[in-house]
Amino acid sequence: MLFVIPIGILVISDQLTKYLIARSIPANTGFAVVPGFFNVVYVHNPGGAFSLFASAGHPWAVYALAGISIAVVAAIAYAFGKTRKGDNWTRIAYVCVAGGAVGNLVDRIRFGEVTDFLDFHAGNLHWPAFNVADMAISTGAVMLLISLMRGK
């Protein structure tokens, strides 16, 4: 339950924010929150992390990305079970990565693509749009790197 419930909370948060964006903003549009730095947009990403494979146009890409997500979540569930009970940092990191992967997997299964809506940029430098699931994955990955560097 220490693995499943927090993942459920992350998935619900991710899906709720995507639902609210889809109901509030027409697709492929958005608005500036902090002009020149941060926009809220409503875009679909058929690719993987950082829009990898987004322009590939291969019908197998959705299945491949879904399969990778399922494999990652299975591996993380196994690693979570092997983590020392007192190592909460690493356990939280695993939950973040798995919760984000499941959040985006739900989109892939339902729509064949992922909804993104957070858009940061500075001048000509533009970060690909992302969502709550992506934030959870990124946060968890950084936490896992820190955990590895600390030797836990």
pLDDT confidence band for 30 (50 / 70 / 90)? very high
Residue 34 inside a domain? The answer is no
Could you report the per-residue pLDDT of 91-139, keeping only the tens digit for each?
999 999 999 999 999 999 999 889 999 999 998 899 999 999 999 999 9
Most distant CA atoms of the chain, gap in Å: 47
SS3 for 45?
A: strand
Give the pLDDT of residue 2: 81
Q: What is the model's pLDDT at position 52?
A: 53
Q: Is position 140 within any domain?
A: yes
Mean pLDDT in residue range 9-36: 97
Q: Print the domain residue range for 128.
A: 4-24+41-150
The answer to the question of residue 111 being in a domain is: yes
Structural domain includes residue 99: yes
Residue 29 resides in a domain: no
Residues 134 and 116: beta-carbon distance below 8 Å: yes
Number of separate domains in the chain? 1
Q: What span, in angstroms and rounded, lies between the C-alpha atoms of 47 and 152?
A: 33
Question: For residues 74 and 62, is the Cβ–Cβ distance under 8 A?
Answer: no
Indicate whether 31 pLDDT > 90.
yes
Report the alpha-carbon distance of residue 105 to residue 134 in Å, rounded.
Answer: 11
Q: Is residue 36 part of a domain?
A: no
pTM (predicted TM-score): 0.86
Handedness of CA 107, 113, 118, 120 (dihedral sign): positive
Tell me how far apart the alpha carbons of residues 77 and 71 are, in angstroms, rounded to a whole number.
10
**Is 56 within the bounds of a domain?**
yes
Catalytic site residues?
116, 134
Residue 30: inside a domain: no
pLDDT tens-place string over residues 32-89: 999 999 999 999 987 655 455 555 455 666 788 788 889 999 999 999 999 998 999 9
